[in-house]
Chain A
Amino acid sequence: MYCNHPPEKPGDKKEVLQKITNMARANSLWVTGYGTGCGAIELRPLGTSRFDMERFGIAMRPTPRQADVLIISGYLSTKTLKRVIRVYEQIQDPKYIMALGSCTINGGMYFDSYNTLNVLDKYLPVDVYVMGCMPRPESIIDGFSLLMKKIKEGRATGWKHYKENLDYYRENQKQIIKNWDLPDYNW
């Protein structure tokens, strides 16, 4: 089921028990397991006993409905963008995007490829970048701790930015997805 009206602008209103809620959000990050690029291979070791991301409260969720974080793991191809938009918009607020690898920052080694996106932030709001090609699990954990810090301080507001500037993002997305057959308001 789709909405046929633009999203409400979240604004800056304070929630009840904001600090406690932010602490809870930072310490319970659920990630959708959706491998978008080759960086997904570095996500698997995070669950093993060597790196163990569960000690930070991070868990993999197999459905976007229950997730908080969407990881764009490496380059994003023009074909995948549509699916990623659908997944991102199905996640309930507040939601965060972590971009792995240099491909998401400036295209990386695929900078002149015809079918990958160069600057991810033009299409979806990125909260945290993790650099490297590929980033090792340690740097992903580092990225998570940066995201946790931003959430605790209330600075991880990419989802608000997306809703407030939806027209800008839609325009950019439609430049890539020529056969746009998604509903415009997708939540």
Chain B
Amino acid sequence: MLSNIMSILLTVFTALVWGLLLGGISRTVTAKIHGRMGPRVTQNFIDVWKLFRKTSSIHHGGMFWLAPMFRITGAIAVLLMVPVVVGQNITYNMSFAGDVFLLLYIMFFGCLGMALGAGNSGHPYAVIAVSRGLAQMSSYELSFSVAVVAIAVGLHTFRIEGIVAAQQAGISSWNIFRFPFASAGALIAFLPMQMAYPFGIVLAPQEIPIGPPTEYSSRFLSLMFSGRALFSVAKLLFFVNLLFGGASSWLSLLLKTFLLYMYTVVVSSVFPRFRTEQSIKFLWLVPTTLALVDLVRVML
């Protein structure tokens, strides 16, 4: 019992530190691409601490207070249900008996909570961003779900442990090579999931000042920053387990999540932003079709 609690705390703490560090690295890399020096790698830690120490005297109602908790809860739930390092008992945090669909649902739970909170703040820009976000979410959810179904049907298991176990026979057994089209679809859907450009229509600072968190300040924002860091690590972990054979050691875990994160950073810094309808059209057409190709191949 005690060791379980310790391992959960260790996982969450490591994920938080790694997520904030990845955020800092991404800001530095983006700055280098712009030809700037960029902030310190530890800048996100400084920001989170500063925000945490600011006063908060803004009240907009119960859901406004709960939204950052929803987000952080969703992130921690995903984190604890995905095997962190394959074969190490200490990191199997929950004896998880659900399937990959439960994970998909919980991944969107945090976003839905955030949408309710932003709606409660009553700011028109927040509401615009939420409607954009939900529209975009329903389109990348489709392509991502089709990709996951293709992989699950191909491997005859819906359990995430089963999907990881099926990829342990060397690099050629990784799902990205066994299901290249579904993987391509899933990797494209990963960009809007991480709110990366060209799909960054939710947090569009030049257009709808920062979107859903417009009214959030101080501790709420600090919690949201931490939640976002945790959530992106949880998603990275899920993708590593789904497509890249899981991680056999802590080193390979850090390396794989780092490279996958850099993929979103690099794509994000060279593309401009889609309009809402362009983004939705693209997501319905391209990644969904790619994922369907593999689904049909597997079914035949």
Q: Chain B, 25-39, contact with A by CB distance < 8 Å: what is the 0/1 string?
A: 001000100111111
User: Are A93 and B54 in touch, CB under 8 angstroms?
Assistant: yes
In contact, B35 and A49 (Cβ under 8 angstroms): yes
Residues of B within 8 A of A25 (CB): 50, 53
Look across to chain B and name the residue whose beta carbon is closest to the beta carbon of A23: B46
When the two chains form their complex, are residues A63 and B40 in contact, meaning their CB atoms are under 8 A apart?
A: no
| A83 at the B interface (CB under 8 A) | no
Is B34 touching A49 in the complex (CB atoms < 8 A)?
yes
B73 interface contact, C-beta 8 A: no
When the two chains form their complex, are residues A65 and B58 in contact, meaning their CB atoms are under 8 A apart?
yes
Closest to B60 in A: A1
- Kindly provide the distance from the CB of B92 to the nearest chain A CB, expressed in whole angstroms: 36
- Shortest Cβ gap from B159 to chain A (Å): 42
Q: Which residues of B contact A56 (CB under 8 A)?
A: 39
> B49–A20 contact, CB under 8 A?
yes
A-B contact count (CB 8 A): 80
Q: Quick check: is A165 within 8 A (CB to CB) of the other chain?
A: no
Is A63's CB under 8 angstroms from B35's CB?
A: no
Return the contact of A21 from the options B53, B210, B216 (Cβ within 8 A): B53
Classify chain A: how many residues form its interface, as a range.
20 to 34
- The B-contacting residues of A in range 41-85, CB under 8 angstroms, are 48-49, 52, 54-57, 61-63, 65-66, 68
Q: How many chain B residues have a CB neighbour from A under 8 Å?
A: 33
Decide yes or no: A92 and B36 within 8 Å by CB, A28-B46, A63-B209, A65-B217 being known contacts: no
Interface contact B216-A65, CB-CB below 8 Å:
yes
B47 neighbours in A (Cβ, 8 Å) = 28, 57
When C-beta atoms are compared, the residue in chain A nearest to B57 turns out to be A187
A24 within 8 A of B: yes
- The interface residues of chain B lying within 8 Å CB-to-CB of A27 are 40, 43, 46
A15 at the interface (CB under 8 A from B): yes
Please name 15 further chain A to chain B contacts, defined as beta carbons within 8 Å, in addition to the given A27-B40, A55-B39, A61-B210, sorted by A numbering: A1-B59, A3-B57, A20-B49, A21-B53, A24-B50, A25-B50, A54-B27, A63-B209, A65-B214, A65-B217, A66-B210, A66-B213, A68-B54, A92-B217, A93-B54
Can you list 20 A-B pairs with a CB-CB distance of less than 8 A? A3-B57, A20-B49, A21-B49, A25-B50, A27-B43, A27-B46, A52-B31, A54-B37, A54-B39, A57-B39, A62-B210, A62-B214, A63-B214, A65-B214, A66-B216, A66-B217, A68-B54, A92-B218, A93-B54, A94-B54
